Amino acid sequence: MDLNAYMLGLGKTARQCARPMARATTAQKNAALLAIARQLEHDQAAILQANGEDLRAAEAQKLEAALLDRLALNPARFADMLAGLEQVAALRDPIGEIEDLQYRPSGIQIGQMRVPLGVVGIIYESRPNVTVDAAALCLKSGNATILRGGSEALRSNQALAQALHQGLADSGLPAAAVQVLDTTERQAVDRLVSMPEYVDVIVPRGGKGLIERVSAHARVPVIKHLDGICHVYVHADADLAMAERIVVNAKTHRYGVCNAMETLLVDQSIAAQALPRLLPPLRARGVELRGCERSRALDAQLLAASEADWSTEYLAPILAIRLVDGLDAAMEHIERYGSHHTDAIVTRDLACARRFLNEVDSSSVMVNASTRFADGFEYGLGAEIGISTDKFHARGPVGLNGLTSLKWIVIGDGQIRGG
């Protein structure tokens, strides 16, 4: 098969489906989401069988255990997928919402109406459940979508795609509004991200390598999700009991997530009291602690942190610790080494809290809360297509609105422009 022609065909089809999807009513879209859930339930045996074949092939290729785990669609994950569809159906439909409708001195009434972006391309790795989650968000936001999953999940994704198509068709929406690539050629990704005539935005979901590859080749906008090198800064005027709670939660609640703390900054002026309080509960949970020289002078058990530690996303039970001389030094460190993802201060001082909120240039900036809250569900978005580390378009957790745009509407009764 000619890959270029295949990709152009997918693009054209998606573009054709974008208009009927944009016009679909809330009732139609919700019906399609629920029809897909029913169809998935109906097809469950066939899907799990396809997934089993993917798993056996992956085992034969001796892929690593973590990848096999992500690839597996067990009954619990299947149930989560169905629940996710119902949750997205229950979300308020953003399409057609009108903001700030107001009269202008000319007598025209203007506002901004929320509309779909058009065609959304999503590129992800081994988890087949992303096929359904991502399709659901694009469907609810009135977009057509082209999905490109991991090559090791091809059979699972094709089986899921059948249910998606059936559910769409059952609800009178175009089955091809969700297309799932059935090729594992890597060049397909390069082509998908370089068809601005057919694709309006690309969302890569996966590791840094994937996102960098997509960004390097992209000729269309990309909603990027890069590193989370998140900091908690324990200010001189912190409540130490609160700091302990937040530090332990931000580091140990889950290790492999982008909103986990990777570096702890402690104000030098309270370090002698703070470290004996903050470090033992981390050690008790098996976290490896690597400190700067000044911190090691206070706690001899600390391993030595190197310069590279300040810019490492461990995604593991490891924590870098640095003493800093006040708020400005803390913000300097975050600006220099952080990834503009999520950073928190623990303080009772109002002026410091305000400065931290205003001046730290991260997609989520927090006062007296765990970095783990940086999440679409916790923020009330209902669902999340990713966490953007870009500033353009959408920043931080991206929900349905991130897959939409605002167009201007003008209503008059015959106004013309003078002057």
Cα separation, 11 vs 419, whole angstroms = 45
Stretch that binds a second copy, among 123-131, 182-190, 285-293, 404-412 (CB under 8 A): 404-412
Pairing of strands 261-267, 288-291: unpaired
Could you tell me the smallest distance in angstroms from the CB atom of residue 184 to a second copy? Answer: 28
Pick the binder of a second copy from 162, 185, 194, 253 (CB under 8 A).
Answer: 253
Pick the binder of a second copy from 8, 22, 57, 318 (CB under 8 A).
Answer: 22
Q: Which is nearer to a second copy, 37 or 247 (CB)?
A: 247
User: Total binding residues for a second copy by CB under 8 A?
Assistant: 65
Pick the binder of a second copy from 106, 184, 273, 301 (CB under 8 A).
Answer: 106
The answer to whether 15 contacts a second copy (rule: CB under 8 A) is: no
Cα separation, 113 vs 269, whole angstroms = 52
Edge-first strand listing for the sheet containing 119-124: 178-180, 144-148, 119-124, 201-205
Cα separation, 290 vs 312, whole angstroms = 12
Could you tell me the smallest distance in angstroms from the CB atom of residue 135 to a second copy? Answer: 20
Residue type, 228: G
Close Cβ partners of 74 (under 8 Å, ≥ 6 residues apart): none
User: E strands within 268-317?
Assistant: 288-291, 303-304
Nearest partner of 388 among 200, 264, 258, judged by Cα: 258
Could you tell me the smallest distance in angstroms from the CB atom of residue 389 to a second copy? Answer: 11
Q: Which pair of tokens denotes residue 337?
A: 């080494």
CA dihedral 187, 158, 126, 48 (to 10 degrees): -160
Could you tell me the smallest distance in angstroms from the CB atom of residue 19 to a second copy? Answer: 7
Q: Which pair of tokens denotes residue 180?
A: 């799932």
Pick the binder of a second copy from 268, 295, 363, 389 (CB under 8 A).
Answer: 363
Could you tell me the smallest distance in angstroms from the CB atom of residue 396 to a second copy? Answer: 4
Answer yes or no: are the C-beta atoms of 153 and 126 closer than 8 Å.
yes
The answer to whether 374 contacts a second copy (rule: CB under 8 A) is: yes
Cα separation, 54 vs 186, whole angstroms = 18
Stretch that binds a second copy, among 27-35, 101-109, 297-305, 312-320 (CB under 8 A): 101-109
The answer to whether 201 contacts a second copy (rule: CB under 8 A) is: yes
The answer to whether 249 contacts a second copy (rule: CB under 8 A) is: yes
Contacts 24+ apart (CB under 8 A), 55-64: 57/152, 58/152, 61/152, 63/152
Answer yes or no: are the C-beta atoms of 116 and 400 closer than 8 Å.
no
Could you tell me the smallest distance in angstroms from the CB atom of residue 202 to a second copy? Answer: 11
Q: Which is nearer to a second copy, 15 or 77 (CB)?
A: 15
Stretch that binds a second copy, among 151-159, 292-300, 312-320, 353-361 (CB under 8 A): 353-361
Pick the binder of a second copy from 113, 210, 303, 329 (CB under 8 A).
Answer: 113
Binding residues for a second copy, per CB under 8 A? Answer: 19, 22-23, 96, 102, 104, 106, 108, 110, 113, 115, 117-118, 200-201, 221, 239, 242, 245-246, 248-250, 253, 335, 344, 353, 357-359, 361-370, 372-374, 378-380, 391-393, 395-397, 405-417
